Amino acid sequence: MSEKNLVINLNKPEGMSSQQAVTRVKHIFAAKKAGHAGTLDPIATGILLVCVDEATKITRFLAETDKEYVAVMKLGERTDTFDSEGQVIKKVENFELEEDKIATVLERFKGTIKQTPPMYSAIKVSGQPLYKLARKGIEIERPDRNVNIYKLDIISFTAPFLEIRVLCSKGTYIRSLCDDIGTALDVGAHIVALKRTKIGDFRIEDSAELGELPDKKESVCSIDKAIKYLKEIVLTPDDFLKAINGAPIAPGELSDLPLNSYLRLKNPEGKLFAIGKVTRCESRPTGPAIKIERLLNVLPNK
């Protein structure tokens, strides 16, 4: 495997920001550029997908996949940041909760739910991250968003600590989920530990600590392997030339693909060179076509 254009399955340590972790990986691989596919808070650990060089062009496609987390929450205390770094704003002492009641409440949060992003988040409003406003004591309205909670299970419960496993869609804030669960239990709660254990097909078991890079090969993969969940199409020589010159193409495999879906486009030799998007275009009004969404500078020059 080439040492460039890679995706690294990093097990981010606690106390390090996502950007600090990216900078370390960039240095280890002597990359020209690097980015990550989904922020982890400094107190969180687990999978941080770091993309180097041309792989930075696929971060959005990795970030859109489902994720799994293991969270430990402390019941009986609610904080303004929804985690252990914030100020306690509600405290309930001497409460009693049975695991059966907790399990019943968790059922309410399975499926498609509405979630309000926390003020202490990186979401930008008018170019300003929400957490910067929150640090100034400013709170603004945030629109609810729909997220999907596919699984929500109790791992262990020893009062006041509840450990849960969550499988969810992109855009889910686990801090907000735990805060909402604490409110539903009438005792409040906040996160004290969080680990991301899965992103798409990437597993925590295959991740690497910073000190294990670049030698732990199972934690490093190509762009093609990283987005293997996208359907691939190998183009004919004619379609390949059209595509790299910016023209829409319409291979026969398009009939069963929905509009706005993405594909791995490969040259006639089967090498990935771009991510395509199924779309409609004026030059082909009778049906869908493919246009390049991201051109990857990965093919050898001839």
Catalytic sites, residue numbers: 41
φ, ψ dihedrals at 175, nearest 5°: -60, -45
Long-range pairs, 119-124, Cβ under 8 A, ≥24: 120/80, 120/81, 120/82, 120/86, 120/175, 121/173, 122/39
Question: Could you give the CA distance from residue 300 to residue 302 in angstroms, rounded to a whole number?
Answer: 6
- Quickly list H helices, the chain: 18-28, 59-63, 99-107, 130-135, 174-184, 223-226, 237-244
E strand or H helix that includes residue 128? strand 128-129
* Burial zone of 100 (CB within 10 Å; 0-12 exposed, 13-18 middle, 19+ buried): exposed
Gap between the terminal Cα atoms of the chain: 20
Residue 222's beta-bridge partner residues?
A: 6
